[in-house]
């Protein structure tokens, strides 16, 4: 069987996999992650799902091409709906906007099941995803950052692993944006992420000020973000 080589973003998500656990990959598109997890013997079986016909057809073709049709089901569905019968324990929701990921997670009872771990990778609005998770009783158990050097665009991807506890956790604004575990760990990728987040806020501040409006909150948050990273150096 031909081996699948994951890019750094998907490899970082796969590194949260728990060996031997069945999985669901929601919004699978090419089914690269499911083929990798089963092909490498990390997971025994799983389900690859997608809401759209094109991606799920692509996934089916790739799964059967890899000879893994017996071990990876391919299902066309919205979010986690109907995936209970596959009893996934590691649930991946990768490569979508943070708000969409939270909509998918919050709409599902499966996401709250004991033993289920969510592994999420928001392309945008990571803070909104963290806000939903922490206010909704999910505990963020770990995080990591990835950069795709091949693209050379300096973009930093966030990967967030969470489990439902029912306990609401208090997070500050900077933690929502950068991630509590990421801040504790520090490093160059965190610094790049912080620089980018601060620059977005400062651009917004300049826009407000040029319209004679107050930008004190934006400037303060940008400064807090940079300070949180500086303390780690």
Ligand X SMILES: C[S@@+](CC[C@H](N)C(=O)[O-])C[C@H]1O[C@@H](n2cnc3c(N)ncnc32)[C@H](O)[C@@H]1O
Binding site for ligand X (CB under 6 A): 10, 26-29, 49-52, 55, 78-79, 94-96, 100, 104
28 or 218: CB nearest ligand X: 28
116 or 228: CB nearest ligand X: 116
Report, in Å, the least distance between residue 8 CB and ligand X. Answer: 12
The burial of 131, by beta-carbon neighbours within 10 Å (0-12 exposed, 13-18 middle, 19 or more buried), is given as middle
117, 159 contact by CB (below 8 A): no
Residue 136: CB atoms within 10 A of its CB come to 17
140, 162 contact by CB (below 8 A): yes
Query: Distance between CA atoms of 170 and 214, rounded to whole angstroms?
Result: 27
28 or 144: CB nearest ligand X: 28
38 or 104: CB nearest ligand X: 104
Tokens at 82, concatenated: 């109907």
Query: Distance between CA atoms of 178 and 107, rounded to whole angstroms?
Result: 25
Distance from the Cα of residue 35 to its chain's centroid: 19
Report, in Å, the least distance between residue 103 CB and ligand X. Answer: 7
Tally the residues of the chain: 233
10 or 177: CB nearest ligand X: 10
Residue among 20, 21, 22, 81 nearest 49 (CA): 81
């Amino acid at each position: 069987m031909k081996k699948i080589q994951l890019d750094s973003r998907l490899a970082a998500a796969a590194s949260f996999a728990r060996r031997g656990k069945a999985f669901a990959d929601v919004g699978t598109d090419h089914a690269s992650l499911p083929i990798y997890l089963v092909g490498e013997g990390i997971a025994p079986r799983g389900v690859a799902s997608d809401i759209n016909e094109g991606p799920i057809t692509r996934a089916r073709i790739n799964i059967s091409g890899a000879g893994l049709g017996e071990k990876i089901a391919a299902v066309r569905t919205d979010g986690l709906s109907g995936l209970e019968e596959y009893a996934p324990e590691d649930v991946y929701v990768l490569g979508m906007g943070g708000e969409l990921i939270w909509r998918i997670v919050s709409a599902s009872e499966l996401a709250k099941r004991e033993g289920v771990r969510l592994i999420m990778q928001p392309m945008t609005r990571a803070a909104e995803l963290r806000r939903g998770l922490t206010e909704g009783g999910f505990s963020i158990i770990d995080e990591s950052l990835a950069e795709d050097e091949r693209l050379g665009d300096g973009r930093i991807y966030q990967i967030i692993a969470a489990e439902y506890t029912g306990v609401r956790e208090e997070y500050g604004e900077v933690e929502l944006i950068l991630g509590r575990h990421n801040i504790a760990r520090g490093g160059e990728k965190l610094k790049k992420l912080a620089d980018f987040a601060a620059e977005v806020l400062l651009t917004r501040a300049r826009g407000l000020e040029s319209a004679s409006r107050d930008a004190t909150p934006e400037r303060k948050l940008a400064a807090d973000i940079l300070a949180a990273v500086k303390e780690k150096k």
